[in-house]
C-alpha cells in the first residue's frame, strides 16, 4: 500500500498525504473505496502541477493568511508596511503562527491580549496588532481561503492625549530648538503651524517648496491618507525654511544635519530641547494636536483645518482639538449674554438678576452658600 494513502484508527475513510511547497498536506478523501481514493490523490497532484490547487480552509494556518496579507500590503504600497510586518514577526507570529486559522477563537484572542498586557504592551499597541490579524482573516475570507472570521475583541482604547503647548511653552521650546539647529526649530514650526506629521515634515524635498508663491506641497502618495496637500507658509516658516534650502538641488532633503545627512531620527535633539524647555514628556506628535487646537480657536472653519493638517474625518479632528475650561467659560459667557439680550428684548427681566463674575455680589452669595 502506498505511504500516501492511509486510514486513521477508527475511521473507514481513506486519507491522502502529499507535498505542497515543501510542506506535507493531509486530507480526507471522504470515500471508503480505495480506487476512488487513488483517483482523488492523482487529482490533487495534477492540481499542484497546474497551479490550481487550493488547500481546504481547515488546512490553512494563521501564518499563511497573514503572509498573504503582507503580500497584499506590499502590492498596495502600504506606507507603514515595515511597521506592520514588525507587529506580525515580533508579537503575533510567536503566539499564533503554529495554529490553523480555524482553531483561533475569541478565547484564544483573549489569552493573547492577557499575555501582551503582562509583557507591558499598551492597549493601543495590542489594538494595532489585532487590527492586522483581523484584516488578514477578512482578506482570506473574501478570497475564499477560509469560511469563518472569528470575533476578535479589542481591548479598550487608551484615552486620547490632551497635551499641547501653551504660548509661553512654545516660546521656550522654540529657543531650545534653535540651539540644536535651524532644522529642529523648523520642525517645531511646521508641527505647530501646519499640524503636520513628523514623517511628512522630514520627508520634504526642496522641489516641494515654492518660495515665490510661499507654498509647501505634499505629493500624492507621500502622506498617511495618500492625498496631496498644499499650504501657504507662515512668515516664520518662510524665514526658517529658506536657509535650509540654500545651496541644495531640487531632489535634496530640506531637513538635513550640518554635514548634509537627511534627518531620519530627530529624537536625541528633541529630548535635549524639551528637557531644557522644562517640557519633559512632550512628543513631536503633540505639536499636531497643538496646531489643530490653535486653528480652531482662531475660528478657522473645520473643513479648512482638516485640509491643512490632513485629517480625513470630523471624528479624528475632534480627537486632536483640546477644549480647555477657559474656552468653555468664554463660550458659556457669550451664550449667557445672548440669552439675556433675548429676554430683555421680550421684556422678561423681572426676577432675573444676572450676577457678574468676580463681583462683590457674587462673593457675598458664594459666602452665604458656603455657610448653609
* pLDDT at residue 140 in the model: 87
User: Domain for residue 19, yes or no?
Assistant: yes
* pLDDT at residue 19 in the model: 78
When pLDDT is averaged across residues 132-161 and rounded to a whole number, the result is: 85
Residue 332 has a CB neighbour count (10 Å cut-off) of: 10
3-state helix, strand, coil in the chain (%, to 5): 55, 10, 40
Domain count, the chain: 4
Considering only residues 44 and 117, tell me which one the structure prediction assigns the higher pLDDT: 117
* pLDDT at residue 318 in the model: 57
Same domain, 109 and 172: no
Q: Is the model's pLDDT at 351 over the cut of 50?
A: no
* pLDDT at residue 229 in the model: 81
Same domain, 175 and 219: yes
- The mean pLDDT of the chain is 81
* pLDDT at residue 12 in the model: 82
Q: Residue 342 — very low, low, confident or very high, per pLDDT cuts 50/70/90? A: low
Please answer whether residues 308 and 231 qualify as being in contact, where contact means their C-beta atoms are separated by less than 8 angstroms. yes
Q: Residue 335 — very low, low, confident or very high, per pLDDT cuts 50/70/90? A: low
- The dihedral formed by the CA atoms of 29, 33, 37 and 40, expressed in degrees to the nearest 10: -80
Same domain, 132 and 260: no
Please answer whether residues 262 and 256 qualify as being in contact, where contact means their C-beta atoms are separated by less than 8 angstroms. yes
User: Domain for residue 148, yes or no?
Assistant: no
* pLDDT at residue 102 in the model: 85
The residue count for the chain: 372
Least confident of 133-142, 162-171, 307-316, 351-360: 351-360
What percentage of the chain carries pLDDT values higher than 70? 78
* pLDDT at residue 357 in the model: 63
For the stretch 84-92, contacts whose Cβ atoms lie closer than 8 Å and that sit 24 or more positions apart, written own/partner, are: 84/132, 87/128, 87/129, 87/132, 88/132, 91/116, 91/121, 91/129, 92/62, 92/66, 92/129, 92/132, 92/133
User: Domain for residue 157, yes or no?
Assistant: no
* pLDDT at residue 323 in the model: 47
Same domain, 76 and 182: no
Direct distance between the N- and C-terminal alpha carbons of the chain, in angstroms, rounded to an integer: 98
Same domain, 20 and 80: no
Least confident of 41-45, 66-70, 248-252: 41-45
The residue whose grid cell reads 518662510 is 238
User: Domain for residue 330, yes or no?
Assistant: yes
What is d(CA 159, CA 5) in angstroms, rounded to the nearest whole number? 57
When pLDDT is averaged across residues 151-158 and rounded to a whole number, the result is: 87
* pLDDT at residue 109 in the model: 94
* pLDDT at residue 218 in the model: 83
Same domain, 231 and 314: yes
User: Domain for residue 158, yes or no?
Assistant: no
Determine the structural domain holding residue 47 and report its residue range. 5-53
* pLDDT at residue 110 in the model: 94
Q: Is the model's pLDDT at 319 over the cut of 60?
A: no
Same domain, 178 and 279: yes
Q: Is the model's pLDDT at 310 over the cut of 70?
A: yes
Q: Residue 367 — very low, low, confident or very high, per pLDDT cuts 50/70/90? A: confident
Same domain, 138 and 177: no
Indicate the SS3 state at residue 292.
helix
Same domain, 129 and 203: no
Q: Is the model's pLDDT at 226 over the cut of 60?
A: no
When pLDDT is averaged across residues 297-322 and rounded to a whole number, the result is: 69
Question: pLDDT tens digits for 10-50?
Answer: 778 888 887 766 667 777 777 888 888 888 888 878 877 77
Q: Is the model's pLDDT at 169 over the cut of 50?
A: yes
Same domain, 316 and 338: no
When pLDDT is averaged across residues 266-290 and rounded to a whole number, the result is: 92
Same domain, 101 and 182: no
**What residues pair up with 229 in beta bridges, in sequence order?**
218
User: Domain for residue 293, yes or no?
Assistant: yes
When pLDDT is averaged across residues 236-240 and rounded to a whole number, the result is: 86
Same domain, 301 and 185: yes
Q: Residue 113 — very low, low, confident or very high, per pLDDT cuts 50/70/90? A: very high
User: Domain for residue 87, yes or no?
Assistant: yes
149 DSSP 8-state letter:
P
What is d(CA 306, CA 295) in angstroms, rounded to the nearest whole number? 10
User: Domain for residue 249, yes or no?
Assistant: yes
* pLDDT at residue 346 in the model: 61
Q: Is the model's pLDDT at 341 over the cut of 70?
A: no
Q: Pick the closest to residue 152 from 175, 135, 176 (CA basis).
A: 135
What percentage of the chain carries pLDDT values higher than 90? 26
Considering only residues 123 and 143, tell me which one the structure prediction assigns the higher pLDDT: 123
Please answer whether residues 244 and 186 qualify as being in contact, where contact means their C-beta atoms are separated by less than 8 angstroms. yes
Indicate the SS3 state at residue 24.
strand
Amino acid at each position: 500500500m502506498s505511504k500516501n494513502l492511509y486510514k486513521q484508527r477508527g475511521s473507514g475513510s481513506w486519507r491522502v498525504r502529499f507535498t505542497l511547497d515543501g510542506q506535507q498536506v493531509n486530507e480526507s478523501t471522504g470515500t471508503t473505496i480505495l480506487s476512488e481514493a487513488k483517483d482523488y490523490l492523482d487529482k490533487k497532484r495534477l492540481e499542484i502541477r497546474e497551479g490550481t490547487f487550493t488547500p481546504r480552509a481547515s488546512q490553512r494556518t494563521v501564518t499563511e493568511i497573514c503572509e498573504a496579507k503582507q503580500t497584499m500590503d506590499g502590492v498596495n504600497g502600504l506606507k507603514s508596511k515595515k511597521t506592520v510586518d514588525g507587529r506580525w514577526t515580533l508579537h503575533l507570529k510567536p503566539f499564533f503562527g503554529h495554529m490553523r486559522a480555524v482553531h483561533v477563537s475569541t478565547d484564544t484572542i483573549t489569552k493573547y491580549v492577557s499575555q501582551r498586557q503582562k509583557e507591558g504592551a499598551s492597549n493601543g499597541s495590542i489594538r494595532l496588532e489585532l487590527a492586522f490579524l483581523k484584516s488578514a482573516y477578512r482578506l482570506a475570507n473574501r478570497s475564499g481561503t477560509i469560511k469563518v472570521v472569528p470575533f476578535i475583541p479589542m481591548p479598550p482604547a487608551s484615552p486620547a492625549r490632551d497635551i499641547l503647548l501653551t504660548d509661553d511653552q512654545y516660546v521656550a521650546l522654540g529657543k531650545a530648538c534653535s540651539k540644536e539647529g535651524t532644522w529642529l526649530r523648523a520642525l517645531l514650526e511646521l508641527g505647530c503651524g501646519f499640524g503636520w506629521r513628523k514623517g511628512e515634515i522630514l520627508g520634504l524635498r526642496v522641489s516641494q517648496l515654492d518660495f515665490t508663491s510661499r507654498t509647501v506641497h505634499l505629493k500624492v502618495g507621500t502622506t498617511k491618507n495618500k492625498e496631496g496637500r498644499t499650504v501657504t507658509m507662515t512668515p516664520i516658516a518662510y524665514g526658517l525654511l529658506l536657509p535650509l534650502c540654500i545651496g541644495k538641488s531640487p531632489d535634496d532633503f530640506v531637513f538635513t544635519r550640518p554635514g548634509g545627512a537627511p534627518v531620519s531620527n530627530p529624537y536625541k535633539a528633541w529630548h535635549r530641547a524639551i528637557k531644557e524647555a522644562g517640557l519633559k514628556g512632550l512628543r513631536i506628535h503633540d505639536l499636531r494636536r497643538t496646531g489643530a487646537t490653535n486653528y480652531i480657536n482662531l475660528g478657522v472653519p473645520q473643513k479648512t483645518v482638516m485640509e491643512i493638517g490632513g485629517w480625513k474625518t470630523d471624528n479624528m479632528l475632534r480627537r486632536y482639538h483640546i477644549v480647555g475650561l477657559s474656552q468653555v467659560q468664554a463660550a458659556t459667557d457669550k451664550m449667557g449674554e445672548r440669552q439675556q439680550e433675548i429676554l430683555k428684548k421680550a421684556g422678561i427681566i423681572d426676577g432675573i438678576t444676572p450676577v457678574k463674575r468676580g463681583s462683590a455680589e457674587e462673593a457675598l452669595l458664594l459666602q452665604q452658600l458656603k455657610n448653609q
